[in-house]
Structure 1
Amino acid sequence: TTGTGNVMLFCSLQNQASRIFLYAFLSVGIVCTVVGNFLVVLSITYFKQLQSPTNSFVMSLAVADCLVGLLVMPYSMIRTIEGCWYFGVLFCRLHSSLDVMLCTASIFHLSCIAFDRYYAVCNPLLYSLKMSRSRVALLIVVCWAVPMLISFGPIMLDLHIAGVDVLLPEDVCVFLVNRIYAVMASLVAFYLPMAIMLVAYWKIFKAAKRQARQINSSKKQRHRNTMKRERKAAKTLGIIMGVFLIFWMPFFTVNIVDPFIEYSTEVVVWDIFLWLGYINSSLNPFLYGLFNRSFRRAFLMFMGCRVCLPGSSPGMELSHTRKEANEPAVNCCMFIFKKMFLENNFPLIIREASN
């Protein structure tokens, strides 16, 4: 009996240690999501150089991702680790609605960014006309309104579980959906935006190759530099889209398949795929900071409280390289990054984006 008691005590302590580790690990992810996306919003709001049509979408995207970290991830963390739901049936519906809405809004913004880059690279003469302030504002409204319609309406009215015979205890908050909602919501929230992004970036890739050949035969340095910046921005956003596909594809694939296999997917599989999707909201601001010099300098200025120093202003030039020579922290980080990756045959796309 004593031996059995010791084994049970050991298992209890081991389980407690695992829970503490998971709480610490996921809490760090939540903090990184909130702080990173808040830095994006703060940087674009403060620095005039970052206030462009593309960055209007980026800022709205950061707001959606920041809200995922504030309103969705903490409760999902408790549900995942504890294995039950402590906040009632009504709040379960509200949490599921916010989860679907904010994650869908994040995906919609990425497709709008791809659409914006398509016109900037493929139709630069029409860009200012197609991406006017009013049109950008309208697209941002659509990025928030459509996700709200496909989340709060069906979920709060229980339309998403019409015909589902699975009974769940009140202390469980599992997002079950019927076949119709699973297919329609996944198409609107993921597969259609994914198709838009893939088509846009494929056309951008072809246009960039064509323009590169034209620039090679041209002696106009200013035009060459402009097109280089546009191609680099398109490549960076392409990497962001690639990360998005890697982290969200498993969840939406299972989301469609599960109702057709009688909801036999294990809860742990759902949790893993869902948290992979959340990771996308955590990674976006770090991708901006890594591949974009202006965002990188803006982040460092806010983290070092340098915006309060004399000589700092909203209209300052963030892409100026001479100032970076006077910033040891920037030089040290970039030296380590180049030694680890750029000088060891890391993909050319990242090598160019870091220049």
Structure 2
Amino acid sequence: MDNRSLGLLEDVNATLQDGLHSCNTLRNQASRIFLYAFLSVGIICTVVGNFLVVLSIAYFKQLQSPTNSFVMSLAVADCLVGLIVMPYSMIRTVEGCWFFGMVFCRLHSSLDVMLCTASIFHLSCIAFDRYYAVCNPLVYSLKMSQSRVALLIVVCWAVPMLISFGPIMLNLHIAGVNILLPEDVCVFLVNRIYAVMASLVAFYLPMATMLVAYWKIFKAAKRQAMQISAMESQMAAGVGKDSSKKQRHRNAMRREKKAAKTLGIIMGVFLLFWMPFFTVNIVDPFIDYSTEVVIWDIFLWLGYINSSLNPFLYGFFNRSFRRAFLMFIGCRVCLHRSSPGMELSHTKKEANDREDKR
């Protein structure tokens, strides 16, 4: 290494250590209290929301489907993010330093990478599952058998574990990075190879899978909506008296539009909250790690927020999940009529009408 390279390395080291040399926080007491309160609310929402998803699927038989197997495993990953990753990240963000030692810093970073990657993998599996359900319904039961769903869930946990614990605990992710950090600082520095490879596996490949799957689903939903519209026009011209059939077709078209809108929201939220972090994660090693710590914190917490929003996106848009959540929150599952096999997809009025018809 020539003198110029040594000088550049010393400058980078000095720049990093100037901002990371001390545990003394620059935030005043009021801002620290506000941040602790704000981030704690996010952690509680993440844990409670995802725990409700797990409880609902585990208790109600109607929610136990191949798709919801992925949703349940996703909720477990997101719940663990809230329980064992976000609290320590909150202290690091607010205090500006790390109180838990270097070994736990590596363990925390490994869990962070593994659980967030597992969450993203589950999102892509849900997209893959919905693609077959909507675009290839005749082969759906074959493609999404119980054994295949179980295998995909294992992959969603095993691959993130391989790209996190192995490289990070063995310090392979910082091979060739000659930057010394203080022991009271936990900053996730990575070399260029790990930054590119891990980002591709953890985000960009799942993102591509989701984009392709949801685009095909959107086109299929649009095609079905056009077919329903054409059928409705024919019925209006020839069988206008059959109002019940017309109403069913209108309801079907509304469902297709709602499904397409929901897919757009899910994909938009995913890209909005994770794209900034993984973009900076790749770029930072190529600009000599000059990204400010506050930028890292903001983008990292945006990714964490995605874990707190997943129960809303995959649960609250679904009537069955909404009813299950309300029953748990209101403790109505303890009532005699709230059995695991009860019907969740109908409102109370619809359920009473069905009973009356019987």
TM over 0.5: yes
Identify which of 260, 271, 288 aligns with 2:314: 288
Q: Where do residues 60-71 of structure 1 align in structure 2 (5 Å cutoff)?
A: 60-71=73-84
CA distance in 2, matches of 1:231, 1:155: 45
Aligned to 1:336: none
**1:310 CA drift (Å):** 2.3
**1:237 CA drift (Å):** 4.0
1:201 counterpart = 2:214: yes
Question: 1:81 and 1:61, CA in 2 relative to 1: closer, same or farther beyond 3 A?
Answer: same
Identify which of 91, 96, 103 aligns with 1:78: 91
Question: 1:312 and 1:325, CA in 2 relative to 1: closer, same or farther beyond 3 A?
Answer: closer
CA distance in 1, matches of 2:27, 2:300: 25
Aligned to 1:184: 197
Aligned to 1:211: 224
Aligned to 2:49: 36
**1:235 CA drift (Å):** 4.1
- In terms of mean alpha carbon deviation, does 182-191 or 307-316 score higher? 307-316
Aligned to 2:129: 116
CA distance in 2, matches of 1:197, 1:57: 14
Question: 1:232 and 1:131, CA in 2 relative to 1: closer, same or farther beyond 3 A?
Answer: farther
- In terms of mean alpha carbon deviation, does 308-317 or 29-38 score higher? 308-317
**1:231 CA drift (Å):** 6.5
Aligned to 1:311: 337
1:50 counterpart = 2:63: yes
**1:238 CA drift (Å):** 3.8
Gaps of 5+ in 1: 1-11, 327-355
Q: Where do residues 80-159 of structure 1 align in structure 2 (5 Å cutoff)?
A: 80-159=93-172
State the AA in 1 paired with 2:268.
G
**1:96 CA drift (Å):** 0.1
> CA contact under 8 A between 1:117 and 1:234: conserved in structure 2?
no
CA distance in 2, matches of 1:87, 1:38: 27
Identify which of 21, 30, 55 aligns with 2:34: 21
**1:287 CA drift (Å):** 2.4
- In terms of mean alpha carbon deviation, does 222-231 or 283-292 score higher? 222-231
Q: Where do residues 254-333 of structure 1 align in structure 2 (5 Å cutoff)?
A: 254-323=280-349
> CA contact under 8 A between 2:173 and 2:191: conserved in structure 1?
yes
**Aligned residues with identical type, % of pairs:** 90
> CA contact under 8 A between 2:86 and 2:304: conserved in structure 1?
yes
**1:244 CA drift (Å):** 1.1
**1:239 CA drift (Å):** 1.8
Question: 1:166 and 1:236, CA in 2 relative to 1: closer, same or farther beyond 3 A?
Answer: same
Aligned to 1:342: none
Question: 1:43 and 1:80, CA in 2 relative to 1: closer, same or farther beyond 3 A?
Answer: same
> CA contact under 8 A between 2:229 and 2:253: conserved in structure 1?
no
**1:242 CA drift (Å):** 1.6
**1:13 CA drift (Å):** 12
Cα deviation, 1:284-328, whole Å, max 9, x if unaligned, reads 1122343111111110000000011121111111121234899xx
State the AA in 2 paired with 1:90.
V
CA distance in 2, matches of 1:166, 1:217: 66
Q: Secondary structure at the match of 1:168?
A: coil
TM-score by length of 2: 0.83
- In terms of mean alpha carbon deviation, does 222-231 or 22-31 score higher? 222-231
CA distance in 1, matches of 2:114, 2:257: 32
Question: 1:172 and 1:211, CA in 2 relative to 1: closer, same or farther beyond 3 A?
Answer: same
| Larger radius of gyration between Structure 1 and Structure 2 | 2
TM-score by length of 1: 0.84
Question: 1:90 and 1:323, CA in 2 relative to 1: closer, same or farther beyond 3 A?
Answer: farther
CA distance in 2, matches of 1:184, 1:26: 30
Aligned to 2:186: 173
CA distance in 2, matches of 1:149, 1:13: 37
CA distance in 2, matches of 1:237, 1:55: 16
Question: 1:227 and 1:113, CA in 2 relative to 1: closer, same or farther beyond 3 A?
Answer: farther
**1:188 CA drift (Å):** 0.4
